[in-house]
């Protein structure tokens, strides 16, 4: 799937340069060469593309189990997914098909996006990589302060600029997430495990992610 047209409108070159040079990260010098970076990205890409290819979308059945109480009023009922278990719901979420916003969403005024629960997905849309999966009960407050993924993105961007490799970080939101913390976090964990998003700590063992140093 190509994101070229989207990335041009979502993340300008000047924004990328400004973002990559913010604060104490300006002098970041990761000892990673260009061939390693390209191989690392290719490994993540191949794995996620295999998952994307294998993912099948199934329609909910009237014979499924009754709707769990934790799904009531979560948005899942109206979306037609409420009769499925959490694993089946996770299988129906396609991060690469979500509407994208640039990575500066956390700088928007609060009224620019809903004060509601969601799952969010940080992606390098130039390389079609899903880098991070997260959840929040208040989308217009998440990431206002310190957040580890900001650091990882800064490191990732800085390394790409060192090697003159194009990249564009964007974020997609899934707004049918449960409002209750536990089921929403269950979905998040399933998606992290499924896609092996390399910026999530749970997956560092698979990718030996080089962008997580501070």
pLDDT in tens, 91-102: 889 999 999 887
Residue 203 inside a domain? The answer is: yes
- In this structure, is residue 63 part of a structural domain? no
- Confidence tier at 37 by pLDDT (50, 70, 90): very high
| Residue 124 domain-assigned (yes or no) | yes
Confidence of residue 11 (pLDDT cuts 50, 70, 90): very low
Which residue is listed with tokens 């700088």?
107
CB 122 within 8 A of CB 103: yes
Helix (H, G, I), strand (E, B) or coil at 196: coil
Q: Is 154 exposed, middle or buried (0-12, 13-18, 19+ CB in 10 A)?
A: buried
- Taking only Cα atoms into account, the Rg of the chain, rounded to an integer number of angstroms, comes to 18
With 0-12 / 13-18 / 19 or more C-beta atoms within 10 angstroms meaning exposed / middle / buried, residue 144 is exposed
Taking the model in full, what pTM does it have? 0.74
Neighbours of 152 (CB within 10 A): 22
Write out the residue range of the structural domain in which residue 169 sits: 4-54+81-207
Chain mean position to CA 186:
16
Q: Is the pLDDT of residue 45 over 80?
A: yes
Q: Tell me how far apart the alpha carbons of residues 189 and 122 are, in angstroms, rounded to a whole number.
A: 15
- The yes-or-no verdict on residue 112 having pLDDT over 80 is no
Return the C-alpha torsion angle 50, 53, 55, 61, nearest 10.
-160
Is residue 129 predicted with pLDDT exceeding 60?
yes
Retrieve residue 97's tokens: 């098909």
Strand 118-124: give its sheet, edge to edge. 100-102, 169-174, 118-124, 129-136
Q: With beta carbons less than 8 A apart as the criterion, state whether 128 and 42 touch.
A: no
**How many Cα atoms occupy the beta-carbon half-sphere of 108 within 13 Å?**
16
Mean pLDDT to the nearest integer, 17-33: 53
Residue 43's pLDDT is 97
Count the neighbouring beta carbons within 10 Å of the beta carbon of residue 62: 5
The band of 81, judged by pLDDT with boundaries at 50, 70 and 90, is low
Angle between helices 181-195 and 34-54 (to 10 degrees): 120
Calculate the CA 50 to chain-centre distance: 17
Does residue 70 sit within a domain?
A: no
Q: Is residue 212 part of a domain?
A: no
Domain count, the chain: 1
Identify whether 68 is part of a domain.
no
pLDDT tens-digit series, residues 144-162: 554 688 888 888 998 999 9
Lowest-pLDDT choice from 39-43, 48-52, 82-86:
82-86
For tokens 């709707």, name the residue. Answer: 67
Of 4-18, 122-136, 178-192, the poorest mean pLDDT is in 4-18
């Amino acid at each position: 799937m190509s994101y070229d047209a989207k990335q041009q409108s979502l993340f300008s070159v000047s924004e990328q340069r400004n973002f990559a040079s913010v604060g104490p990260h300006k002098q970041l010098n990761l000892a990673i060469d260009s061939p390693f970076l390209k191989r690392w990205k290719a490994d993540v890409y191949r794995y996620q593309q295999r998952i994307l290819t294998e993912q099948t979308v199934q329609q909910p059945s009237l014979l499924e189990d009754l709707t769990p109480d934790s799904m009531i009023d979560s948005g899942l009922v109206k979306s037609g997914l409420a009769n499925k278990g959490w694993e089946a719901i996770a299988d129906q979420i396609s991060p690469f098909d979500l509407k994208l916003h640039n990575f500066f969403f956390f700088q928007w005024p609060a009224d620019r996006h809903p004060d509601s629960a969601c799952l969010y997905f940080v992606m390098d849309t130039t390389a079609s990589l899903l880098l991070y999966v997260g959840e929040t009960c208040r989308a217009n407050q998440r990431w206002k302060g310190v957040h580890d993924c900001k650091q990882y993105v800064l490191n990732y961007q800085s390394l790409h600029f060192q090697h003159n490799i194009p990249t564009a970080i964007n974020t997609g939101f899934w707004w049918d997430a449960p409002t209750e913390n536990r089921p929403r976090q269950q979905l998040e964990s399933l998606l992290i495990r499924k896609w092996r998003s390399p910026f999530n700590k749970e997956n560092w063992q698979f990718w030996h992610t080089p962008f997580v140093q501070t």
